[in-house]
Amino acid sequence: MKVSRAAFGRLPDGSDVTTFTIDNGNGYRLRCMDYGATLIGFRAPDREGRADELTLCYDDFDRYLAGHPFFGSTVGRVANRIGGAKFELKGRTFELEPSEGGNLLHSGANGFHARLWQAEAFERGAHAGVLFSLVSPDGDQGFPGRLDVSVSISLTMDNELLFEYHAESDTPTPVNLTNHAYWNLAGAADRRRHAGEAVPAVEAGGAIGGHELTMFGREYLELDADSIPTGRILKVAGSPYDFTAPKPIRQDIAAADGYDLCYVLDPGQAEDGQPLRRAAMVREPSTGRTMEVVTTSPAVQFYTGNKLPVQTDGYDEPFRRYDAFCLETQYHPDAVNHANFPSIILNPGETFRHRTVHRFAVE
């Protein structure tokens, strides 16, 4: 395993931003940076041995600093949405700053995705990566308690991409961490850069329409008009949201008006002492690439880049709707306001732990 680091940019306060690159020698390469504990690249070979970039990412730091739709970011303290941008805990109401209408999405503009994390690279035999750490003080983002959090992003010789999260708090506080990578197993960034190449129409599911997806969840969270869970958990059977058997993403994407939905995962089997659940299996027929996602979390948000911009000022080749998909392993969105959802409250003396593994292969 080979780990290298390089300067990537500078924050307005003069702080340097650093990238880390991990190469496992099998054609797989991971890149991440300390700003936002962000995955900024993942290259993998296809059945012909050609390596492509599989995530939506930018080539220079200024684009990240100007604002972006959470490309590869670590999201927290609370990922996904909080209805009304408020919640009650221990008899106290906590008011948060809305970031999507009257609701809070991904903890707002000053979330963990917009922080400079401490970073330490590591190599442990057949496993190498970066450990990012951050202290979120009491009152940060409107949440109670000091939160000490760490995120490890790493690559193995078995072609596995690992995300491991830990957090501790001195006061009861909600915690729900995830990574927000946008995937296209056909080759996300390389496809975008080839001027003149045909881009599949949105009506055909865009650039990800041909990906075959299986979701290991037979239930999903019903949403209201603002994409806030109503509290009802529904069956996917008979709906456009049913991926219990493999099917192309394009098949029902028009009926679903794009996907942005939280699936409740089926119970899993214990692995390495942790209750890992299968979340999803993705196959891309033209390249032969596959990606299996397993996780300790109880749910996964499937998002098809519905709000990606059609135009991006100053950039020759903007990302488009349905150029990529996200599989955000997490706890249920708006869990702080639904007693029937698994609790995301972290108490003093407890440790928040969450592990997600992406397993890559070629068929």
| Active site amino acids | 180, 328
Pair type for strands 178-179 and 74-75: antiparallel
Kindly state the tokens that stand for 22: 């991990």
Pair type for strands 51-53 and 74-75: unpaired
The single-letter DSSP state of residue 221 is: E
User: CA-CA distance, 206 to 187, in Å (whole number)?
Assistant: 13
- The candidate with the shortest Cα–Cα distance to 292, out of 273, 268, 308, is 268
What is the per-residue burial (b if ≥16 Cβ within 10 Å, else e) of 125-159?
eebbbbbbbbebeeebbbbbbebebbbbbbbbeeb
Kindly state the tokens that stand for 175: 């915690």
Sign of CA dihedral 266, 306, 281, 297: negative
State the amino acid at position 95 in one-letter form.
E
- The candidate with the shortest Cα–Cα distance to 60, out of 35, 97, 27, is 35
**Residue 293: strand pairing partners:** 280, 358
